[in-house]
Structure 1
Amino acid sequence: MKKNILDLFLEKVLNVPLWIKQVIYLKLGNEMKEMACEDFLRNHPDDIFSTFVPTLTFKGKTELTERKCGLDNNIYNFLQGCANEYSMLEISVNTFLSMEEVAKYYELCLEQNFIKVPESKEIHAMAGYIAGKFRTGEYFKQKGVISVDQLQQAILANRDAQEAGSPQKFGEILIQLGFVTEDDIKALVVLKEEAKKRFILDYNTVPKPETTFSDDSQKYEEEIANLKDENLKLKRKMLQLLELVKRNGHQ
């Protein structure tokens, strides 16, 4: 794991003069409004997935130490981030992974009982949604916004629309039924797309840490290439696992 440079980056940003902070605040505020994220950030600051800090179970700590399962290195990097008490965002920055990839490792580790189940319904629902485990309707059900009956009602309405030759997106059906708002759907769609992006901090933009990072660009490129290769292997393993589950389901 790389040294956590996110705090160094934020420290530099937060140390700018007030008149620069005001401009940053205004620009970010306008962008959050456009993305329909402002109300959620203001009213549910503890339920933001990127700031959530996952906790290792005893099984997770043991696997991180002994590595008996022979898992992908990215999974061990994720577990190490949990051991360091990093947030999901910090794990993403320190492993060069997108938030979508981090969410998938989170779900995998949760299924293996390597990390504890979060108390927040929003964290659980958002992790599953970003990772692709939950679709729109299931996300809102897991979050507690709609009931099982309301989800079933939306599914039937969606089916009727398709049979009538006027298919609609599931989010539009939920809006028409009055179960969620347009802003709810807009914020969810934007977050899903943004989660696919990688955010790699340039070490030259932050103050020098106690540990000096290598300036060897070739090693840096090789490390990223190795991470991509490991991601590809994990995706193949997950596809094989899904195929096995499907086969068992048809038996």
Structure 2
Amino acid sequence: VDLDTATPAWANLPASDPDPRTLGLSARHLAYVIYTSGSSGTPKGVEMPHGSLMNLLWSSPELGAPKRRTLQFTTLNFDVSFQELFSCWRDGGLLVLVREETRADFSELPDFVWREGIERLFLPFVALNHFAEVWCARGALLPSLREVYTAGEQLRATPELRSFFENHPRARLINQYGPTETHAITEHRLAADSSCWPQLPPIGRPIANTRVYLLDGHGAPVPFGVMGELYIGGAGVARGYLNRPELT
């Protein structure tokens, strides 16, 4: 986008949004394509439609939909970035961008969160725990923080994490789980009192309009307490794979 151009490319375009029905668009059309190898080692282009992304964004809206100042921390190579962007815009919040230097250097991140008054933060567990470690070394409170989302790997209630949330009782930790093919499919909001957290907090229950099944090798539900394979269905599932039709 060249802002210095006398006549920008969009000068002759209409000022209003086009009617999606006139264009033939629906919730099945793509919101994004993101590549993952998962456990196979072979890249798969996951096709995520608008309907699945919207279901995630509206599955658990807060009462009154506060306009959160949200940090856009995740790079666009990861699907969490879409959650950062659109959950903020959904509520009419303010999206705060971060320089690459600050993203790479966690010693500056707590100061940045404090200075910008960040209210909503998305961090995978390793990054979140590192953030808590850096904060513990400094101890300056972050009074604006209200929501911290974590996903991507198993959450562990480390001493640093407990200490951080003990000193920030107005901030809630939300643990989400889901493969790239569903973005997030389960959610668990941890108690405000971090002292009662289990060492390995659960991944929670399925979000709205989705189902989760634990099945055995024959595709039958396993008894309670028995290990099985996770199957996911409902509005959160991606449309298919761009370059792996045999898996779609």
Establish whether TM, by shorter chain, passes 0.5.
no
- Smaller-chain TM-score range? under 0.3
Q: Which has the higher strand share?
A: 2
TM-score using structure 2 length:
0.26
TM-score using structure 1 length:
0.25
Q: Which has the higher contact order (CA 8 A, sep 6+)?
A: 1
